Structure 1
């Protein structure tokens, strides 16, 4: 290593933590395998295709042939420890990346020369930019490149709000990249299969291109270095140490995103990437500064991921931001939960190795931290620390209803779901009383499919799934007055209740009103609450078989028996009266309408509008997405019955990046054949879309 390279590496503090992120199937896991092989952590790089990769060690990841959760591996490189966290690339699992990156020193963004993946790249870069995470862009699959590198840079630049800073140029031979020239070192390297590149003289035919590209890099660096700008103006060659200092500074301060390239599958460009990380990425001190954590104080760690293992129980994968944490320490979480560290483990994929303690900068798994969740912070001591990097889970966009095939499995299901939702905060499970169903919501079809596979694979609980109940309602259009009488004699005290009610419609959204207009005590005061109770019970299912809304019921008359009347009798009388009245009030079906805001790349707008109108939706308008170049927001209203698989169709039309937020807006009348079809299915069953 040159003196300048060594100087560029000075000031490292503690083990590094680097996230590997990027669009779906860009080669992140393959890059991790190449890093493990290059650093000697594994003898031979595994393959995603044959299920031998460390980064896709879970059964669900291998079943789907892509990452579905972060995978962690620690390596040693030139005397320093580095932990790499391979994050899923699918938008459905982007929340996993968001939970990991705040405590990372930097990120490697893996991408390729594929314009179809630009929207996904933009989403990922935007997340890193807003979180202030320094990032390297690694253009993968250079061995299959079809564009010149400057064309690729022009293609990728719109995805990044910070300038992309080219650090290398390829050496081409017969249209194939056979090596590269490092613009900072001014050295040429020739690729070797699954080995470090060989240093060679810069080819004569590449000298001109190298000088031009290097000057362009230095010009960019000079934007934030007046001394360098003067040197360029005066045509003075800047010292190499100064160049490395500027590269490190611009990365750490977010002024530029350095761009390197290679082939993860062949192990090309990996050593230079590792050296760039070692020399230029900040350490844990910068993470503390970014998160507002003081350097001095009791030991502090941040939980990046929660894992429930088959035999080891709960593991909290955490970055130690300050001090040391060891087995047996009593820690307290940011919400006040206390726990004793039952063990400290270093993870490499699915493998674990016991450690005596975790020091500042380490990413290790702490056992049995009950009550401390992903996104929490914990410290040694009695005072709960502030949660330094909590990330709110995303709003769900896809929902299913689930039920065990055997009721005796319900207890096991509840226990398993508690563990799954603790591992994955974006997985939301709720029981809806009205529909009588258990609903699972998440970020898409694959997200929920993986959750159900985990239920079966890890906990032995198999469930049936179906579309959730749609919240249809009904209301009335006209008025009716009816009498309801409940009279029963079975020996001894009988049952008697008699009411006259007037039922009339209210404006949409007004809800339900009960009015008491009894005079003369024809219905005693103590029974009137029972009449209202009976009326409300009858609203659960109206003349069409659905819950009834927006009406007023007025109790106008009735009679009672001094011996046989009771609360139960008047409740029954009220239900009878309502059962008679509602079909006479010209009932009409109402369907829930949701306000939807859809975020999409601009070029997909025509497809999105077609999707909305094809689902009986109403377009309200669209506008550019604030702060997002090349994106729009489409505002619309959509029936709830049309939203079940909306996210699937949207993502299909937007290279996987379409997203939406939704909220119930109002109830609208549904008539004609669509209403007849819903009512024909009858009762609660009719509420299924």
Structure 2
């Protein structure tokens, strides 16, 4: 596997890597927190495959190349990015994901497009909670995984300590394939645990030697654990007995079983990199150990009406089924869609069918249209290298898909199909914004629609009650990135404003009120008098209108007019401008005029009566209360419960969920959790998640009324 000495890497500098068959493709998503070394690893792999020819230059003590500059900018924009390369005639699509919890949506898009995951962990740091959470994300979809420990030559690096941390975080099926060799603070080689050879890079060229005697004890310890782990995953049930009896198992057989175990997600090898060492071993793991698209099950595929479509496989000759995994808008180039082809072959200038994804509640319209695509390209940093086709299993950038959004399905126009969408996390941080000028306001709508097309985790809300434009984001970093894109990419300046939470009003007691609308100003006048009784209903009681008119004092045709006037005033509010709820209004008396009474006159009278009732009895402001479910590591349960209580919340209880996680349930006023997405992430070091569901309205405490209503 990764220990086979297969010679130098094959490159594809200056041209787009192409694949003719799915078995010649490996789609790998890079996962790790910010600062773990993902970008450096991508740079090393591009250099090892000679995809990037130009050597880096040193700026402020840091090696920088053309690819670095692009990648750093993309990381600041926290995009899912693609780096294609070729090694031993295998095309490798590396999908680099953002290392921040706010951008888990991009991680899930990367998981959808990939067939295996490469976890990147820094040897200078412990495995943090976010990395553990990302591992669980991969485990949930059955993704084959491996671990690369980077920065072995860092002054604080401790390979053995971080390895133990990985095994503690990820389980017993995590084992190293190599031991790094560090001399005078610099990594200059690797010891293969299966082959028991020292791969020496000290001279800049990979040579094979026997490891020194000082390493024999470590080799024996780690090699035994590695072989036992491989044998446990082997389909050959006789291997364990043979091994325990002292038989030396053939290295080739062990490597073959290891490759199978890695490909099916039963074993997770660990590699090490640093100082330009280890890239070749990572490439060998990817090409020989990770599965091809042929081995990865396709997502569920249906007709547009939801009828299942069985039998579609990763076949270049099959019906076209592809998915937009990332959308970006460039003011000069236009919209670029990163597309994974699951079946069939995509070619330039084809007419495809675009099927929507069912996120209309977030501002993403459903699609069911035909559209002609533009050129196909293989992106690398600033370069867009054209390619003639994209076969099933491969990933390509598509130009001129003006209607398709992230998550949409592309299929043949003669056979429209739809892929089941991946799970998109719910944005829970509301940010109210407004344009800074009239010119910006005119451009804001179109710019926001472009952002929505790119990012399925963004929800756009035009709140009719508060008359605010609200962006529902994954977190503060997500919000900052969105506002930065509005400014720099679309030329629209906006500012954050204080978020208003929609409240409600109700009556605190019963009373009777008169609505009198009598006006005589010459000609046709207005005459309507109504007597109402207003009384509160229990929480959630809604609105009831009761007609108790007898003797025709209010003609039958005007009784609905009174109700309409009352309802209109309820929407306007009677105290602070919020809608009135949970009230029963009874019309029990009134007067009318044979000429001057009208529908509008009685509407006005009904509204006036409700407003007068508010002067006779106490009115209450009601705040929304949400049911909140917080999933948290056991270590933070006490802090979370205490924090929820401090937010006027009522903790309902907790229950264990899996190993080391607890679900805490509480009822919390919505006013208190507008920024909970930020606060929870701080409390839990990025590992806590929560869901909220509207429950009911409750009276706002008196000491908060002036603050909120004002």
The corresponding residue for 1:95 is 105
The residue that corresponds to 2:525 in the other structure is: 494
Question: Structure 1 residue 219 and structure 2 residue 238: aligned?
Answer: no
- The alignment status of 1:676 with 2:706, answered yes or no, reads yes
Distance change >3 Å, CA 653–CA 413, structure 1 → 2: same
Match of 1:57 in 2: 70
The match for 2:507 among 476, 493, 515 is 476
Task: Specify whether residues 378 and 615 from structure 1 end up closer, same or farther in structure 2 by C-alpha distance, changes over 3 A only.
Answer: same
Taking the aligned partners of 1:116 and 1:31, their CA distance within structure 2 comes to 18
User: Structure 1 residues 671 and 380, CA, compared in 2 at 3 Å: closer, same or farther?
Assistant: closer
1:461 to 492, 497, 504: 492
Determine the C-alpha separation between the residues in 2 that align with 1:403 and 1:357. 44
2:187–2:277 Cα contact (<8 Å) kept: no
In 2: Cα distance, 1:581 partner to 1:229 partner? 85
Decide whether aligned partners of structure 1 residues 219 and 189 sit closer, same or farther in structure 2, where only a CA change above 3 A counts.
same
Instruction: Report the Cα distance in structure 2 between the residues aligned to 1:619 and 1:358, rounded to whole angstroms.
Output: 53
Structure-2 residue corresponding to 1:229:
240
Maintained 8 Å contact 2:153/2:185: no
Task: State yes or no: 1:73 paired with 2:107.
Answer: no
Q: Where do residues 288-307 of structure 1 align in structure 2 (5 Å cutoff)?
A: 288=297, 293-296=312-315, 297-307=318-328
1:189 touches 1:199 (CA, 8 Å); kept in 2? yes
CA contact (8 A) 2:341 2:392 kept: yes
Q: Deviations over 1:484-529 (max 9, x none)?
A: 1112223211111111111011111111111111122211222222
Q: 1:166 to 1:50 in 2, by over 3 A?
A: closer
How far, CA to CA, are the matches of 2:374 and 2:191 in structure 1? 50
Q: Taking structure 1 as reference, are residues 2 and 496 closer, same or farther at Cα in structure 2, changes over 3 Å only?
A: closer
Q: Distance in 2 between the 1:46 and 1:234 partners?
A: 55
Call closer, same or farther: CA 1:634–1:2 in 2, change over 3 Å. closer
1:443 counterpart residue number: 474
Is 409-418 or 126-135 further displaced after alignment? Answer: 409-418
Classify 1:355/1:232 alpha carbon distance in 2 versus 1 (closer, same or farther; 3 Å): same
- Within the alignment, does 1:333 sit opposite 2:354 as a pair? yes
TM-aligned CA deviation for residue 50 of structure 1: 8.9
Among 227, 230, 238, the alignment partner of 2:249 is 238
1:140 to 127, 130, 150: 150
Cα 1:51–1:557, aligned 2, differ >3 Å: closer, same or farther? farther
Offset, 1:72 = 1.1
Partner of 1:459, secondary structure, is coil
Q: Secondary structure at the match of 1:243?
A: helix
**Contact 2:509–2:535 (CA<8 Å) still a contact in 1?**
yes
Deviation at 1:652, TM superposition (A): 1.3
The alignment status of 1:202 with 2:211, answered yes or no, reads yes
SS class of match (2:189): strand
Deviation at residue 370 of structure 1 after TM alignment: 4.0
Q: Is the 8 A contact 1:333 1:379 kept in 2?
A: yes
* Offset at residue 116 of structure 1 (A): 5.9
Q: What is the DSSP-based 3-state SS (H/G/I as helix, E as strand, rest coil) of the residue aligned with 1:337?
A: strand
Render the CA deviation track for 1:325-383: whole Å, top value 9, x for unaligned: 11121212345432112211211123212222222332111122344332233233511
Q: 1:51 to 1:176 in 2, by over 3 A?
A: closer
Whole-angstrom distance in 2 between the partners of 1:638 and 1:318: 41
Bigger drift between 479-488 and 42-51 goes to 42-51
In structure 2, the residue matched to 1:247 is 258
C-alpha contact (below 8 Å) 1:14/1:361 kept by paired residues = no
Stretch deviating more after TM superposition (584-593 or 440-449) = 584-593
Superposed displacement of residue 241, structure 1 = 2.0
State the 1:88 CA deviation. 0.4
2:36 to 22, 26, 32: 26
Q: What is the aligned length? A: 669
Q: Distance in 1 between matches of 2:2 and 2:552?
A: 102
Are the counterparts in 2 of residues 288 and 321 from structure 1 also a CA contact under 8 Å? no
Alpha carbons of 1:499 and 1:47: their partners in 2 closer, same or farther (altered >3 Å)? farther
What secondary structure sits across from 2:606 in the alignment? helix
Question: Could you say what the CA RMSD is over the residues aligned between the two structures, in angstroms?
Answer: 2.7
Q: Which moved more, 1:532-541 or 1:552-561?
A: 532-541
Match of 2:174 among 158, 164, 172: 164
Q: Does the CA contact (< 8 Å) of 1:36 and 1:45 recur in 2? A: no
Matching of residue 272 in structure 1 with residue 281 in structure 2 = yes
Q: Is 2:118 the counterpart of 1:108? A: yes
Alignment of 1:592-607 (within 5 A): 592-607=624-639
Structure 2 Cα separation of the partners of residues 92 and 517 of structure 1: 57
Distance 1:46 1:643 in 2: 48
Checking the alignment, whether the CA contact within 8 Å between 1:475 and 1:550 is kept in structure 2 is yes
1:359 paired with 2:359, answer no
Q: Which residue of 2 aligns with 1:406?
A: 437
Retained in 2: the 8 A contact 1:102–1:131? no
**Cα distance 1:453–1:622, how it changes in 2: closer, same or farther (>3 A)?**
same
Q: C-alpha separation between the residues in 1 aligned to 2:231 and 2:57? A: 42
CA apart distance, 1:577: 1.0
The Cα shift of 1:322 comes to: 3.0
1:527 alignment counterpart: 558
One of 134, 154, 160 as aligned partner of 1:124 = 134
Partner of 2:15: none
Query: Partner residue of 2:47?
Result: 37
Which of 531, 547, 569 matches 1:538?
A: 569
Segments of structure 2 that go 5 or more residues without pairing to the other structure are 10-20, 301-310, 357-367
Q: Secondary structure at the match of 1:345?
A: strand
Q: Counterparts of 2:351 and 2:587 in 1: how far apart (Å)?
A: 64
* 2:662 pairs with one of 632, 636, 656: 632
Mark the CA change 1:367 to 1:337 in structure 2 (over 3 Å): closer, same or farther: same
C-alpha contact 1:600 1:654 (8 A) present in aligned 2: yes
Deviation of 1:148 after TM superposition, in Å, equals: 5.4
Say if 2:416 is the partner of 1:384. yes
2:17 matched residue in structure 1? none
Return the offset for 1:41. 2.0
Match of residue 696 from structure 2: 666
Residue 324 of structure 1 corresponds to 345
Counterparts in 2 of 1:68 and 1:340: CA distance versus 1, 3 Å: same
Separation of aligned partners in 2, 1:341 and 1:177: 48
1:62, distance to aligned residue in structure 2 (A): 3.8
Deviation at 1:471, TM superposition (A): 2.0
| Contact 1:623-1:632 at 8 Å conserved across structures | yes
Q: Alpha carbons of 1:92 and 1:492: their partners in 2 closer, same or farther (altered >3 Å)? A: same
1:298 CA drift (Å): 2.0
CA–CA distance in structure 1, aligned partners of residues 345 and 194 of structure 2:
37
Say whether the 8 Å CA contact 1:99–1:304 is kept in structure 2: yes
Deviation at residue 477 of structure 1 after TM alignment: 2.0
Is the contact made by 1:307 and 1:316 (CA closer than 8 Å) also made in structure 2? yes
Q: Is the 8 A contact 2:433 2:494 kept in 1?
A: yes
Q: Are the structure 2 counterparts of residues 203 and 639 from structure 1 closer, same or farther at C-alpha, using a change threshold of 3 Å? A: same
In 1, are the aligned partners of 2:2 and 2:282 still within 8 Å (CA)? no
Post-superposition shift, 1:557? Answer: 1.0
What's the offset of the Cα at 1:117?
4.4
Cα distance in 1, alignment partners of residues 573 and 343 from structure 2: 60
Deviation at 1:240, TM superposition (A): 2.5
- Helix, strand or coil: the match of 1:127? helix
